[in-house]
A and B are shown apart, each in its own frame.
Chain A
Amino acid sequence: AQSVTQLGSHVSVSEGALVLLRCNYSSSVPPYLFWYVQYPNQGLQLLLKYTSAATLVKGINGFEAEFKKSETSFHLTKPSAHMSDAAEYFCAVSDFGNEKLTFGTGTRLTIIP
């Protein structure tokens, strides 16, 4: 069975500071990993995904994530936070060949001016 743990339900960073959102997963087979962002009253937008190609994945809006098999992690980072990054971020995992996603509980990112 798959599972996703997002450490920190709330993260606050200053504008211009590094953003680090943590995601750890468990999966019995090589996983596909995703980060989605949700703005208030909207659906989810795909930020980036890992599907067994390069371990460092670059996404939209300057975000990137690194797949570390030894640590079963897929943390999301951005070098310099912008006010527009304030949103809810969800990490999700699926198994190869399984279309169903398992979501983490989400991390609310607040940007301090």
Chain B
Amino acid sequence: GAVVSQHPSWVICKSGTSVKIECRSLDFQATTMFWYRQFPKQSLMLMATSNEGSKATYEQGVEKDKFLINHASLTLSTLTVTSAHPEDSSFYICSAHETSQETQYFGPGTRLLVL
């Protein structure tokens, strides 16, 4: 149990385009999901907290107009990187909070390359 999926697993796009990444909790409902960014050989950097039915909470320094988050259901959160640029290339990981276990479960990650 407690499986989280992400789609796509990798994406290549041209500079200036938008990319949407989906995060799904497959066997539990999650009112709270999180989006992280990870640079090579570094720890995870929390970008934002996604709350079902309400606006996301962004960490300091993260542009909310650049990284749009939607949490429309208890099993799905999406991250849209708008007008992507090469510096947005990174590994993006989502997690979903399983309330009864008080634990975050992570997706497999999405590698984004912006050309």
What range describes how many residues of B lie at the interface? 20 to 34
Report how far A105 CA is from B109 CA in the complex, Å. Answer: 18
A32 within 8 A of B: yes
Which residues in A have their C-beta under 8 angstroms from that of B106? 36, 43-46
Number of interface residues of A (CB under 8 A): 21
- SS class, residues of chain B in contact with chain A: strand
Which residues in A have their C-beta under 8 angstroms from that of B91? 41
Report how far A51 CA is from B103 CA in the complex, Å. Answer: 9
How many residue pairs link A and B with beta carbons under 8 A? The number is 49
Which residues in A have their C-beta under 8 angstroms from that of B46? 100-101
Residue on B nearest A44 in the bound complex, by CB: B106
A84 within 8 A of B: no
Partner of A44, one of B2, B42, B93, B97: B93
Which residues in B have their C-beta under 8 angstroms from that of A103? 43-44
Told that A36-B106, A51-B102, A106-B42 touch, could you supply 4 new A-B pairs with CB distance under 8 A? A90-B44, A99-B49, A99-B104, A100-B34
User: 20 A-B contacts, Cβ less than 8 Å apart?
Assistant: A32-B102, A34-B103, A41-B91, A41-B111, A42-B108, A43-B93, A43-B106, A43-B107, A44-B93, A46-B103, A46-B105, A49-B103, A51-B102, A99-B32, A99-B97, A99-B102, A99-B104, A100-B34, A105-B42, A105-B43
